[in-house]
Structure 1
Amino acid sequence: MTEGNFVDYVKIYVSSGKGGKGSAHLHREKYVAKGGPDGGDGGRGGHVIIRGNKNLWTLFNFKFKKHFKAGHGGDGSKNRSTGADGEDTYMDVPLGTVVKDTETGKTLLEITGDGEEKVIARGGKGGLGNWHFKSATNQTPRYAQPGLEGEEKNITLELKVLADVGLVGFPNAGKSTLLSVMTAARPKIADYEFTTLKPNLGIVQHRDFQTFVMADIPGIIEGAAEGKGLGHYFLRHIERNSTLLFLIPADSKDIKKEYGILLDELRRYNPEMLDKDRFIAISKSDMLDDELKAEVQKELTDAFDGVSYMFISSVAQQGMQELKDKLWEMLNKEEV
């Protein structure tokens, strides 16, 4: 999937169908002059339904179609015949999609399961036919109810990427390079900040044909929790990753400080993200000889509050299999 095809935020207009009118028909037959009321009910208006689809990874389809309208209910007719229900409209979305009210920002629903269906705009109820209003004092009512109007909403769809491992780090920390080495994904790679502007997903092939999904998230900068830089644009994607892999380059001026800033940004955005399993990879370690690596290890003693770390190099292919093994162990520790 190219970066331009990854759409994770879109505004949509939805409109459900109006309910059909009830009928005010009076029964007539050749030998029955006054058969009484027999008008049927109107059909309900169509719903607009959001449905989860595990085969979708992006909201790209909504880039070109942003208005969704359901069908109107049919009118009632004679012989107490109920009008047809309006045709429902389905919106297929990838798993991890959050639906919000555009005007208030309130979260309306979330879709996390394949085939999961939730009504976002309910169709109007059909009007009652005149036979419902027959009574001892009014045996031939000549009126029926109109159908109720449907709902109109402006909604915002936001995709939170569902991945097993989310890569967390500053811009240009080597996340895209690591993803390209560990998976078949081909993210954009260059020597400047914010090369990655949208999440990239890749499937990591482990031993015995086992796999897990890794997401390269756009880089964090200090102040991201307040929306600085890409801000909330990327932070929401980390919420749905079960394990966080912190990537800090070996040539960082202060590895411990960089890790602290990354943790602080996650804490300020959503404290629950600190409950996720964490692992730290010191990238670009091919730049270190054994003596420098030993010095760095001394500096990192007790620097990560008990969180394990590992030296790797994506370019030199150092520590790749060990990293896969460690991540697989963390993802499946409950089964051990």
Structure 2
Amino acid sequence: MLVDEALIHVRSGRGGDGVSHFRREKSIMKGGPDGGDGGRGGHVILVGDAHLDTLVEFQHRPHLFAKSGENGAKKKCHGSDAPDLLVRVPLGSTVHDAETGDFVADIVEDGQQVVVAEGGRGGLGNDRFKTATHQSPTECTPGGEAVERSLRIELRLIADIGFVGLPNAGKSTLLGATTRAQAKVGAYPFTTRRPQLGIAELPGDRRVVCADIPGLIEGASEGAGLGHDFLRHIERTRAIVHLVDLAPLDGSKPAENYRTIREELHAFSPALAEKPEIVAFSKVDLVPEEERAKRVRRLATELGLSAHGTGGDDEPVVISAATGEGIRDLLERCYALVKGTAAPTDWRR
């Protein structure tokens, strides 16, 4: 299960104190200052990790504290700097200050590092204050204070394709049919409560990363049905597959269902509504065979799409995740769309 939000509390290390000390040996009764500096406190650093895909670790370990630097010592010995605390997060993590809401970082590259809490500077020993006119300084400085803050991390899915549609449109079944993802499937709305990721593999060592976005409902752009949470994930996909149920069990009209989702996407973000879209008419296996062609043609006309089978850029793909009909066509279209290549027309040969 993908955990897509976490609240963590971080604290850098305090700087070590500088020391006031004078050299004292048998043969040297009044030696000069030899107090050493303190070491730097450890930073707290977020690191992008391509091998992670969840924030679940922070549910069990929300408090992340770096170590403090060591104090200085006599004989001009400087305290050791504390090691930095590296906190690994999945790519696609967006970080904000939990108290102010200020943006902190967007982690999108493997190995990317962002210091979110700087360690305190090491204090200065009294040896640092010796001058030509001030030969026996006693002053030294304490180490810098630690930085403590709370951070909110949101994980927005990084996927090539996001499956969108009303609840029960067949998104989870499609994800299972096209990838190895084990998405929960059921004949009731809101089967999927959190986004699920899967990788669809195609011949020629090609692949498409797909995301099953939980079903949207009317009013999602205003927060209904956790709409803001779901719409946030769609923002990170490169394109969307809009599933339209050809045989909705509730008796609703497929064309109206399609328009409902489009309106919610536009209301949430006009840029989101401009994402490349492939329309897929799903659950064709539930339509009597003698009615399929007519129903598909009528729905395409109502939505202003090219007729099925014409090869138009906006031609809908007719699929059945249950029987596998149209799945390969859909994946080839998806790959061509996100990779900028032409979809092959001879793969059936």
TM range (shorter): over 0.9
Counterpart of 1:57 (choices 47, 53, 70) is 53
Query: 1:52-131 maps to which residues of 2 (within 5 A)?
Result: 52-131=48-127
CA shift for structure 1 position 299: 4.2
> 1 CA distance for matches of 2:75 and 2:107?
42
CA deviation vs aligned residue, 1:229-275 (integer Å, no higher than 9, x gap)? 12222222111111111111012533333222212222232332233
> 1 CA distance for matches of 2:257 and 2:156?
25
CA shift for structure 1 position 208: 2.1
Query: 1:67-216 maps to which residues of 2 (within 5 A)?
Result: 67-216=63-212
> 2 CA distance for matches of 1:79 and 1:308?
80
Cα distance change, pair 211–60 in 1 and its aligned pair in 2 (3 A): same
Conserved 8 A contact 2:95-2:154: yes
SS at match of 1:208: coil
Residue 306 of structure 2 is aligned to residue 301 of structure 1: no
Conserved 8 A contact 1:47-1:122: yes
In the other structure, the counterpart of 2:347 is none
Conserved 8 A contact 2:319-2:325: yes
CA shift for structure 1 position 276: 2.3
Counterpart of 2:323 (choices 309, 316, 320) is 316
The normalised TM-score by structure 2 is 0.89
Range 248-257 or range 94-103, more displaced? 248-257
Range 204-213 or range 304-313, more displaced? 304-313
CA shift for structure 1 position 335: 8.8
Conserved 8 A contact 1:127-1:148: yes
SS at match of 1:300: helix
Cα distance change, pair 191–299 in 1 and its aligned pair in 2 (3 A): closer
One-letter amino acid matched to 2:262: L
CA deviation vs aligned residue, 1:144-169 (integer Å, no higher than 9, x gap)? 00011111111111111111111111
Conserved 8 A contact 1:256-1:304: no
> 2 CA distance for matches of 1:159 and 1:304?
35
CA deviation vs aligned residue, 1:153-201 (integer Å, no higher than 9, x gap)? 1111111111111111111100000111111112111111111001111
> 1 CA distance for matches of 2:258 and 2:202?
27
In the other structure, the counterpart of 2:309 is none
> 1 CA distance for matches of 2:341 and 2:25?
74
Over the matched positions of the two proteins, sequence identity in percent amounts to 42
Residue 277 of structure 2 is aligned to residue 275 of structure 1: no
Query: 1:241-252 maps to which residues of 2 (within 5 A)?
Result: 241-252=237-248
Conserved 8 A contact 1:46-1:72: yes
Counterpart of 1:220 (choices 201, 216, 219) is 216
Range 298-307 or range 87-96, more displaced? 298-307
For structure 2, the 5+ residue unaligned runs are 306-312, 344-349
The normalised TM-score by structure 1 is 0.93
SS at match of 1:181: helix
> 2 CA distance for matches of 1:181 and 1:163?
17
SS at match of 1:192: coil
SS at match of 1:201: strand
Conserved 8 A contact 2:255-2:302: no
> How many pairs does the alignment contain?
332
> 2 CA distance for matches of 1:126 and 1:271?
50
Query: 1:259-274 maps to which residues of 2 (within 5 A)?
Result: 259-274=258-273
One-letter amino acid matched to 1:39: G
Residue 225 of structure 2 is aligned to residue 229 of structure 1: yes
One-letter amino acid matched to 2:255: K
Conserved 8 A contact 1:47-1:70: yes
Conserved 8 A contact 2:208-2:334: no
